[in-house]
Amino acid sequence: MTIYIRIEKLAQKIAEQCREIDRKSIDRLLDAIIDANRIFIAGAGRSGLVAKAFGMRLMHLGFTVYVVGEVITPAIKAKDLIIIVSGSGQTSSILNVMKTSKAKGAKTAAITSFPDSPIGKGADFLVRIKGRTIDDLTEDYTARQLVGDHEPMTPLGTLFELTTMVFLDAVIEELMRRYQKSEDEMREFHTNLE
């Protein structure tokens, strides 16, 4: 299989997964973002990088956004929203962030592959995005072939992260439309210290 065929298959899989995201959960997330006083972003590893990219675009739209763990992140309070990106929905450090946020009265939104995970169950707003996690992997090649599971297109949680990135970029585009923001207006918030 050539690299171009792999790219095409991966793009098709991401599009397929995006079509499976529940529309009502998208609407609830959009409403939560719009209603929030401030938005906090959390995630670990590659999911955290996707979350940070989303936070940056929210900032470009004029939202007040903070990334959990950065030294300038203030205390979370009631009327704030924390958006958590976690494929497994069970990363202990991120689960602790969620528990603290809820204890302080903030609303919690989770983007995960596993609604029944601790993070999925604990969220006020949930968006399920299918993907693979380390727990999904069957080590035995022959066993995978017998049940019809073939070689994965992407390693570990990459499919979740890529699909989440595309989904969150579409959320930004929807917010641009709702707030009637142009790219030029967003550029006003873009860093000028580079």
| Tens digits of residue pLDDT in 136-172 | 444 554 554 455 555 555 555 588 999 999 999 999 9
Quick one: pLDDT at residue 182? 79
Q: State the DSSP code for 112.
A: E
CA–CA gap between residue 67 and residue 85 (Å, rounded): 12
Q: Which residues are catalytic?
A: 161
Tokens encoding 18: 């995006």
Residue 155 DSSP SS3: coil
Helix axis angle, 158-179 to 45-60, nearest 10°:
10
Q: Summarize pLDDT for 177-192 with one digit per residue, the tens.
A: 998 887 778 777 787 7
Single pTM value for the model:
0.85
* pLDDT digit string, tens, across residues 40-77: 999 999 999 999 999 999 999 999 999 999 999 999 99
- The domains of the chain, with CATH numbers, are 12-184 (3.40.50.10490)
Note whether 24 and 136 are within 8 A (CB).
no
Beta strands at 65-67 and 107-112: parallel, antiparallel or unpaired: unpaired
**Long-range CB contact pairs, 8-12, < 8 A, 24+:** 9/153, 10/153, 10/154, 10/159, 10/162
